[in-house]
Structures are given as C-alpha cells and as structure tokens.
Amino acid sequence: MIGRLNHVAIAVPDIEAAAAIYRDGFGATVSAPRGLPEHGVTVVFVDLPNTRVELMQPLGEASPIAKFLERNPGGGLHHLCYEVEDILAARDRLAAAGARVLGSGEPRIGAHGKPVLFLHPKDFAGTLVELEEA
C-alpha cells in the first residue's frame, strides 16, 4: 500500500531565509513561494534526487502550523508525506486498523494538485503522516 516518500515537510518562521539555506548553501533547486490559502500555508519545494523537502510558513494567524511554531519557534520537522495508489482504499484500510484520519476524513487537494489527507501522529510513532494519491 505505501509508496515512495514524496516529501519531508519542515515548518519555518521565515520561508525566504529557509529557502536560501537550501538554494545558496546546498546549491539545490528551490521553487518560488506559493500560497495555499485552503491549507493556511505558504510553501516552497526543494528538489532532491530522491524526494523533496517542503518548507512551510504560516499563511495568516489561523494557520494549522502557527501553534507548531509557537512550540518550536525556530521551526522543525512537521510531517512526512507518503504516496499511495488509492487514497480512499489506504484511508479505509488504516482506519480499520485503528488509525485516526484528521479533519473530515475526506481527501482535499494538496500542493501538487492531488488528493491528500493527514493521519494522527499518535498512531504513527509520534509523526504526523500525510498521504498523497500518486
């Protein structure tokens, strides 16, 4: 069921400064910032040979990562995103095994234009998990 690691997401207080670390320090290709109002974040993606790093900054005070940054003012690892072939089948299988799906339980369109949903970190060794339909 689980596919490749799509991205590692890092919440940051300053997306331009964080992007510069990857672009200028590592010489990585970094996308332009993109606001995702439906998710309450501004994101950039750092392309790597085997995956991506997503840098996320709150977009407004109601952002779901604002509280994360209150607890971790310097930023930090926010979630891991795994690809799945069929997001509804994956959701149903994991929920039947006891995993909690966050929000309404229905997938929303994510930053890559594909259906995504999030799983409770307490059910995955303390790690927030995002599933994205491949």
Active-site amino acid positions: 130
- Specify burial of residue 125 (Cβ count, 10 A radius: 0-12, 13-18, 19+): exposed
HEC secondary structure over 62-130:
CCCCHHHHHHCCCCEEEEEEEEECCHHHHHHHHHHCCCCECCCCCCEECCCCCEEEEECHHHCCCCEEE
